[in-house]
Structure 1
Amino acid sequence: MAIEILTKEDLKEFQKSLLQDIKNILKGNNEQSKKWLKSTEVRKLLNISPGTLQNLRINGTLTYTKIGGIVYYDHSDIEKVLNGNKVNALPTLFK
């Protein structure tokens, strides 16, 4: 079995490579890769029950598309609903 000796430079190069890989993975997760989401994905994203999601559809809060029994939601519409319902918190005054 051959013995390899690692130098500090080798470890620094590995660290740079690893950090770059992690940055690429995180960057990929921040960008929405799917335009259309299924109900289960939306429920998971918003942490809501199937009934709550149905109520959002029924009352027109959240638009959707239904194809062959599968309901799809546009990711940008979900963001619009979230942004449209933002509540500005009043700063707490300390005495």
Structure 2
Amino acid sequence: MQLNIITLEDLLQFKTELFTEMNRLLQGGKESQTKQWLMSAEVRKMLNISPGTLQNLRISGTLPYRKIGGSMFYNREEIEKIMRGE
């Protein structure tokens, strides 16, 4: 099992990105394709996979993620690398 350590810098970056995304949504903008961190539902839709398949990718270490509270977040760049076969 892979263990990811979240630093204070990671949390501050996440907070900044979260506030930026919330402001964008409140201003009525369309969904950004350049959003760095995706939630599980977004990843499942992007990869067209089931929740069980996503869980298997996490468990096997194929798809790195960060868990904050009870939510899983995935780096868009990492997903794109996997899709390209890198």
Q: How does 1:2-13 map to 2 (within 5 A)?
A: none
Residue 44 (1) aligns with residue 51 (2): no
Aligned-partner SS, 2:61: coil
Q: How does 1:1-95 map to 2 (within 5 A)?
A: 32-84=33-85
The ranges of structure 1 where at least 4 consecutive aligned residues each deviate by more than 6 angstroms after the TM superposition are: none
Pairs aligned (count): 57
Aligned-partner SS, 2:43: helix
5+ residue gaps in structure 2? 1-29
Counterpart of 1:34 in structure 2: which amino acid?
Answer: K
Counterpart of 1:54 in structure 2: which amino acid?
Answer: Q
Pairwise CA RMSD? 1.9
Deviation at 1:84, TM superposition (A): 1.2
Aligned-partner SS, 2:81: helix
Higher RCO (CA-CA < 8 Å; seq separation 6+): 2
Identity score, percent: 61
TM-score (norm 1): 0.55
Deviation at 1:40, TM superposition (A): 0.3
Q: Which has the larger radius of gyration?
A: 1
